[in-house]
Amino acid sequence: MQINTGILVIFLIVAGGILVLFLLSSKKYKEFIEPLDPNEYKLKNFLPIGLYVTELIKYNYGSNYDRRLMAKIIELYGVKYSQYYLRIHWSNKIVLVLMTAFFLSLFGLSGEPDWDYGIFALIVLVISFFLPDNELDNKIKERRTSIQLDFPDFLNKLTLLINAGMTVTRAWEKIVTDSKKDSVLYEELSLTIADIRSGKPEILAYEDFAKRCKIPEITKFVSVVVQNMKKGNSEMVSILRLQAAECWEMRKRTAKRLGEELSTKLLFPMMIMFMAILIIVAAPAIFAMRGM
């Protein structure tokens, strides 16, 4: 088999570049990437390469694209760690592109690549660059869905406690303290109570809670609570009850949508299983007919 010289050169450059960058960066950024979950970042051990590249080119993370990424990262990880995770996100993108280029050039060595393969490789590289962005969007979607599923139950409990004579903050704190749930919503509820305990004004703490969650139902709920704190509203319990009923309907719709999405995801594996069974059943009959 004759190896294409051009592809061989590309492969050696990519492979050599990855090796050199890894040797230069692995120790330097070892502690920096230590907190990351390897289940979330499959290429964790190679992330120092991306960090080294961004530092080498003095990338300043100041573009409109970076600002859009930052907004998503803040929603997921909070303002405090946003700069850290933006750097990690870019590192992940760079490493994924390099690894994709490595395997594309490796596969190219085994055949005779033409212009079609070059176009295919370019498309795959572009997809690999934007793939982490898609994963970021999926994480945000999962986060918001989790909040939507838990919020109706929280609102129900809060309404009952307020109706029993508790203040909003006291009822909020009791629900968080009594709950054993370890979900996104309850993390945000706990953070809100922690903000209030540390001296942040209650209204500001609730408004920040709504901004972090980015759920219309929570924004509406916080508006009712804030209005009650500023001006007073004797009908707040009635309004919260009405909103709780609306949120339960929203929860049912969300659960139904998740069920439909799961059914769609299961359709392809079921088709493969059906084809396999069909082949197993039909193959003996086909061979028997050929034998005749």
Per residue in 17-33, pLDDT (tens digit) is 999 999 999 999 999 99
Give pLDDT, residue 287.
55
Half-sphere exposure of 278 (CA within 13 A, CB side): 6
Q: How many alpha carbons lie under 13 Å from residue 104 in its C-beta half-sphere?
A: 21
| Chain segment 65-85, per-residue pLDDT in tens | 999 999 999 999 988 899 999
- Give residue 279's pLDDT band: very low, low, confident or very high (50, 70, 90): low
Q: Residue 54 pLDDT more than 60?
A: yes
Report the residue count for the chain. 292
Residues with Cβ within 8 Å of residue 205, at least 6 apart in sequence: 192, 195, 196
Structure tokens at 87: 């750097």
Q: Which residue has the higher pLDDT, 11 or 129?
A: 129
Neighbours of 184 (CB within 10 A): 19
**CA–CA gap between residue 220 and residue 216 (Å, rounded):** 6
The residue whose two tokens read 């508790």 is 166
pLDDT at 288 over 70: no
Q: Give the separation between CA 207 and CA 218, rounded to whole angstroms.
A: 10
Work out the average pLDDT over 250-258.
Answer: 75
Tell me the two tokens of residue 74.
């803040």
The mean pLDDT of 195-213, rounded to a whole number, is 93
Give the residue from 143, 151, 150 showing the smallest Cα distance to 221: 151
Tokens 């793939």 belong to residue: 131
Own/partner long-range contacts of 83-89 (Cβ < 8 Å, ≥24 apart):
86/61, 87/51, 87/54, 87/61, 88/33, 88/36, 88/41, 88/47, 88/51, 89/132, 89/136
Structure confidence at residue 131 as a pLDDT band (50, 70, 90) = very high
Residues 6+ apart with CB under 8 A from 9: none
**pLDDT confidence of residue 289:** 61
Name the pLDDT band for 284 (thresholds 50, 70, 90): low
CATH dotted code for 146-253: 1.20.81
* pLDDT at residue 16 tops 90: yes
Q: pLDDT value at position 3?
A: 62
202-224 mean pLDDT: 92
Most distant pair of Cα atoms in the chain: their distance: 91
Token output for 274: 């059906």
Instruction: State yes or no: pLDDT of 52 exceeds 90.
Output: yes
Lowest mean pLDDT, pick from 88-97, 150-159, 221-230, 280-289: 280-289
> What would the two tokens of residue 214 be?
């980015």
Amino acid at 236: M
The pLDDT > 70 percentage for the chain reads: 86
Assign 264 a pLDDT band (cuts: 50, 70, 90). low
pLDDT for 290 beyond 60: no
Mean pLDDT of the chain: 86
Q: Among the listed ranges 46-50, 114-118, 177-181, which one has the minimum average pLDDT value?
A: 114-118
State the Cα–Cα distance between residues 145 and 130, nearest whole angstrom.
Answer: 23
Domain-wise residue ranges, the chain? 5-113, 146-253
pLDDT at 102: 92
Residues 6+ apart with CB under 8 A from 163: 237
